[in-house]
Chain A
Amino acid sequence: MDLMMGKEDYAIKASNLTKSFGSVVAVEGVSFAVNRGEIFGFLGPNGAGKTTTVRMLTGILTPDKGDVIIDGIKLRKNPVRAKMRMGVIPEIGNVYVDLTAEENLSLTGRYYGLSRELIEKKTRELLTSIGLFERRNDLVRTFSKGMKQRISFACAIIHDPHILFLDEPTEGLDVQSRRLIVDTIYRMNKQGCTVFLTTHNIEEANKLCARVCIINKGKVVAIDRPEKLKNTFDKTQSIEVSFDQKIDEESLLHGPILKAEVFGDKWRIYTTDPDKAVKYIVTLAQEKGMKILSLTTCGPSLEEAFIRLTGGGG
């Protein structure tokens, strides 16, 4: 398991993090390192210790054991200096609903020591980019969940952080808000920002992250590139095909096809040899005089790897 990388120039380095609440060990011996400029995914089932780990990484909780180094700064020794480098969207990181959108951003900017002029400039830019400039003087309590999350996101990046911690940033959001946040994460990452993304959304992690860390029962169970993790467990691939006529399962179960199941208005076919399987399906369609309406090949999924690693697959 690639727990540590060879070089020592990391954006985030967690060593042997351990945290207990009473007799419950929430996180035990968690170690990993995140490269500068990397989008790093942090996955795990509910109660796995994700949020506790993120809270330790962001200085909200102090670990019982272990250390966190942020941008070369020891968090335990210099929490404020380390926090100045970070932007954080906590899991329950609501903004102040009794303040306006502008006041929330201004408050955050002042905590980070930005000048009045810079706060005004950044507030204008950010509110425009998240589509809320017209609502800048409205109390946040009048905003929808998606709008509040956009304000929360803007607060996290007002000081142009070197490292961005996002704990479930797109959870329960509408498509527009989700797209806006994902696009901003990409843009900031291109500008050199390291992103630490905690998410339940495996597909999102698969698309965004260069590497993912999977945690289960408070311990790290895997750290690797999504593609590598996918191929670790399952060599089986699947094909989704839909015909213009009904067809029985037995007709499909031949040669390289291991299993076929109905999946909505399509068939999902599992195989170890997609090339042979596709050729068989095309021949079958010709023989039976059927038309293929759609045909998609799918590789092994990160979700499958996740379920196997976290013991959810039985």
Chain B
Amino acid sequence: MSTPIFIRSIIVTAEKNIKIYYKKAPVIIFGLLFPLFMFLSFYIGRKIDLALFFPGFIAMTLFFTASSVGPLITPWEKQAGTYERLLSYPVTVNTIIFGDILAGLIFGMSITTIVLISGIIFLNIAIVNFLLMLIAILLGCFCFAALGVLLASPSSRAPSNVMMLSSLIRFPLIFISGIFIPLQELEGTGLILSYLSPLTYLVDIFHLCLNGTSMLPIWLDLCGLILFSCVFVLAANLLHKRNLAKGL
């Protein structure tokens, strides 16, 4: 497949996803309302330093938004009977996967940017390292959009089943990361577990970008996110191909 055709197909797939799936209820519920309510439940009535909590909140927003579109697309397409048509177009499974990732990435970046700008305007949050912040948002959105697409790989034709499965995986990733308990305060098993969540590395970068300090070296945070991204993309490719015919 030549590069222009590959890129064109990815863009067309992403545009299709944006038009159809951004407005779906699960995306709005799991992508927008969930992080908002999670934030409110932890913030309201507690004396929390918002500047300290903001990196975690922005990471959580990015995590939920970027990973909310992917799990929905393939099960929805299989249920609606459009997946077979999509596969008959001049595309490959990789094109579809990257198109789905791009749709999640754009959704995650858009909402995260809005929340970040709101934080800067209303909460006087300052960005210490703008370029790194941009790279982290981009990398984080790619990583979690890829996770979303990976979560869509089971053969289920019922989007609700996949959304349940995705919640089952996404929530533990939040709780073991350094969002609610700073990495500095974690020790033993808690600390080891936190390294298994890609969110940990993103939160750490955001702490550096917004507060000027991080627990881990920045190269390790970036490598962690890149490594998780590669694992998610490769696993999504493998599982989507394996389950392609199921539920057609």
Contacts and interface: CB of A to CB of B under 8 A. Distances in A.
Interface of A: 21, 55, 58-61, 79-81, 83-84, 86, 88, 90-99, 103, 107-108, 110-113, 152, 155, 165
Contacts of B20: 96, 98-99
A94 B12 CA distance: 18
B27 to A, nearest CB: 13
Contacts of B5: 80, 113
A176 B23 CA distance: 35
A83 B90 contact: yes
Interface stretch (B76-84, B140-148, B192-200, B229-237): B76-84
A217 to B, nearest CB: 19
8 contacts: A60-B87, A80-B91, A90-B85, A90-B88, A96-B20, A96-B82, A97-B80, A111-B91
Nearest to B20: A98
B1 A58 contact: no
Nearest to A91: B84
B115 interface: no
Task: Please indicate which of the listed interface residues B82, B85, B87, B245 has the most CB atoms of chain A within 10 Å of its own CB.
Answer: B85
Task: Please indicate which of the listed interface residues B1, B8, B12, B89 has the most CB atoms of chain A within 10 Å of its own CB.
Answer: B89
B226 to A, nearest CB: 28
B90 A111 contact: yes
Interface of B: 1, 5, 8-9, 12, 16, 19-20, 23, 80-82, 84-85, 87-92, 244-245, 248
Contacts of A110: 8, 12
Contact of B90 (A92, A97, A112, A152): A112
Contacts of B245: 21, 55, 61
B4 to A, nearest CB: 9
Given A95-B82, A96-B16, A88 B92 contact: no
Task: Please indicate which of the listed interface residues B5, B19, B82, B88 has the most CB atoms of chain A within 10 Å of its own CB.
Answer: B88
Given A83-B91, A96-B16, A155-B85, 12 more contacts: A58-B88, A59-B87, A60-B84, A79-B1, A80-B91, A83-B90, A93-B88, A98-B20, A103-B19, A111-B89, A111-B91, A165-B88
Contacts of A91: 84
Task: Please indicate which of the listed interface residues A80, A83, A99 has the most CB atoms of chain B within 10 Å of its own CB.
Answer: A80
